[in-house]
A and B are shown apart, each in its own frame.
Chain A
Amino acid sequence: MVEPRPGLTILTHGVLSLGVVLVAFPLYVTLVASTHTAESLLSRVPLWLGGHFWENYRTVLGAGMRAAGGASVGTMLRNSLVMALAIALGKIAISIVSAYAIVYFRFPLRMACFWTIFLTLMLPVEVRILPTFKVVADLHLLNSYAGLTVPLIASATATFLFRQFFLTVPEELAETARIDGAGPLRFFWSILVPLSRTTIAALVVVLFIYGWNQYLWPLLVTTDEGMYTVVMGLKRMVTVADQAAQWNLAMAAVILALLPPVVVVVLAQRWFVKGLIEPEK
């Protein structure tokens, strides 16, 4: 807020509240549904929290996950966590340096590299999933963390975003670095990366969630139940629960699977700091 304007502030809160209601409403319904019995859900899902919260969640954590096959909740959580973190950090790491190279250097085939990397956006994973599976199998990476994560690091979202951001960084900063005798890597580490904080934060959230929510790829690449992820177990529960009209349990499972991503969202908020420290000119 630059200057106080009470009228506008009220409007702002109003719009935000309405937005939250509209956007978060489906989630709210999910939460509500997870606290009722299956029968009460059959005649028009109610809007208020029911009294079966603990019962449903205990059932899901106990029986539900066990029936979802072999792997314990702990194992699935570990696998999901490893996968999500590896993808998030991996993508950010390789993309930030690529974007840096493309924006701040001139080298032959520079634009060709950009477009090759960028092209990965133009074809979704599922279309190429069968041949990708073969590549992973040939590299003996099935049933491994590497096989789960590396093929998903290939896309260009992060590179594109960093490129956009780097193009907005004032030229003077790089100028000054050069004049001061700082090499490109120094400039990168000390100036560019700190400046990119909010971008990195946003990407951590998005990529972690992307990695966490992967379903089809882990399903194909693993046959060892020790490698199952939370979302795989969840999807099983939800499919069957849908059939058997045990939606209260299905929704409880959805909420549970949501918790780690939500934690990441909350934690990453700290980096969404308004008004970064202006670097010395």
Chain B
Amino acid sequence: MRGRRVRLAIALSVLVFLATGPGEAATEIQWWHAMPDALGEWVQDLAAGFNQTQAEYKVVPVFKGTYTETMTGVIAAFRAHQHPQIVQVFEVGTATMMAAKGAVKPVWQLMAESGEKFDPGAYLPAVAGYYTTADGKMLSLPFNSSTPVLYYNKDAFKKAGLDPLKPPKTWPEVAEDAKKLQAAGYPCGLTTEWQTWIHLENLSAWHNQPIATKENGLAGLDAELTLNGPVQVKHIQQLGEWQKTAVFEYGGRQAADKAKFYTGRCAMLTASSAAYAAVAAATTGKLEFGIAPLPYWPDVPGAPQNTIIGGASLWVLAGHKPEEYRGVARFFNYLSSAQVQAVSHQRTGYLPITEAAFELTKAQGFYQKRPGADVAIQEITHKPPTPNSKGLRLGSMAQIRDIMDEELETVWAGKKSAKEALDSLVKRGNEILRQFERTNH
């Protein structure tokens, strides 16, 4: 009899326990992202790390495909009121997000309302500038930022009689080195990925040339493209001529064809600093490579200035409860802490977003262990950004980049001169910008 009552009591208490649970459930915060594979693990670890430091909030990352697919998903979800709190949006979507005033909650507002401490000055200006308004208010949190660098084949340089520790600094030097490399049996000198981002956008910033009026669009929706300026025309023209002699070899849009570098065909590659892991993985045991800053044209006054970033940032979406926003604010502070940033930077190769993280990484001796890893940071902090080099904010940027790709392809195929192509680019791009302005005023 007594045994049965004990068992009943136990059963009841188990039931009560199960029914009520171990206290209140944590507030869930959904974070939609586009980071696959190893980077996806990084995202999961970041969320897990935050969740472990406190029990009130639980950040739940959800992988939503590529950047474009994630954007589509978020728009679909927003229109159906099923959207997450945090979404990772690529840099070309910045203008769209910023213009969607009823859909987003800017970071500065989020921080102010949640009462969490927030110091915009702690963020590296070249990194945060892209995602900040003209008067310094942060709109989204920089998350995974990178900048273009020059990868070069040290083995090839040795074979061609060039000093592997002295990569070319200027574009004329690139051509000279390329000719020697070709003489040593390397069919091509230079190839690139992301030609739009590297050879037009960053080219402009690195030489302190405007990409568009109104501070590259940061100061207003009525910006107009200025990519057909003398420096840009000269550079593209030169690349077009080099394409004929394989000093430069075009491999395809976006990140299409780094294989030209991996196979040793092209001895130099301009690519994102975030490509480091991929380049290292693909070249282990095959060739030794080095990293150098982007070359520049020495006859342009003020060059080199600083490069601008690419990548993505974290946007907060409107329409959620204040306690959820408090959780988001805490999470953002966690992400921005020097410790977390330093670990992330060293793990992924993405730029650290705060000065403190950079200093910490330096102090940990990381850059000695991995020479070349600091090239990216040096590029973005080379000089304080000017209005031409804080970043850019143009509507329908993805479409404008498509136009850029198309027009550049006509130059590489020898169908148009650089000036014709860039003039056409500017004209077509401006049409798109005006359309965006109309739709989003």
Contact = CB atoms under 8 A, between A and B. Distances in A.
A223 B62 contact: yes
Contact of B37 (A133, A137, A219, A236): A236
A134 B80 contact: yes
Interface stretch (A17-25, A154-162, A183-191, A237-245): A237-245
A237 B36 contact: yes
Interface string B261-282: 0110000000000010110011
Given A39-B285, A237-B36, A245 B258 contact: yes
B40 A225 contact: no
Contact of B255 (A38, A69, A243): A243
Contact of A42 (B69, B77, B259): B259
A244 B282 contact: yes
B255 A137 contact: no
Interface in A213-240: 216, 219-220, 223, 225, 235-237, 239-240
A134 B78 CA distance: 9
A225 B76 CA distance: 19
Contacts of A245: 258-259, 262, 278, 281-282
A239 B255 CA distance: 11
A129 B75 CA distance: 11
A236 B82 contact: no
A241 B277 CA distance: 12
A39 B36 contact: no
A133 B80 contact: yes
B2 interface: no
Given A42-B259, A245-B258, A69 B76 contact: no
Contacts of B40: 67-69, 236
Nearest to A241: B37
Given A68-B37, A129-B76, A134-B80, A219 B65 contact: yes
Interface in A131-171: 133-134, 137-138, 142
A130 interface: yes
A220 B281 contact: no
Interface in B35-57: 36-41, 44
Contacts of A129: 72, 76
A219 B69 contact: yes
Interface in A76-127: none
B286 interface: yes
Contacts of B30: 223
A246 interface: yes
A79 to B, nearest CB: 15
A27 B222 CA distance: 51
B62 A225 contact: yes
Given A68-B37, A220-B76, A137 B82 contact: yes
B278 A219 contact: no
Contacts of A243: 255, 275, 278
A143 to B, nearest CB: 10
Contact of B80 (A137, A225, A241): A137
Contact of B36 (A43, A68, A225): A68
26 contacts: A67-B38, A68-B40, A69-B36, A129-B72, A129-B76, A130-B79, A133-B77, A133-B80, A134-B76, A138-B80, A219-B69, A219-B73, A220-B72, A223-B32, A223-B84, A236-B40, A236-B63, A236-B65, A237-B36, A240-B36, A240-B38, A240-B39, A243-B275, A243-B278, A244-B282, A245-B262
The 10 A-B residue pairs with the shortest CB-CB distance in the complex, in nearest-first order:
A137-B80, A240-B37, A236-B36, A245-B282, A244-B278, A134-B80, A133-B76, A240-B36, A223-B62, A67-B37
Given A39-B282, A67-B40, A244-B278, 12 more contacts: A42-B259, A69-B44, A69-B63, A129-B72, A130-B72, A130-B79, A220-B72, A223-B32, A223-B62, A239-B36, A244-B281, A244-B282
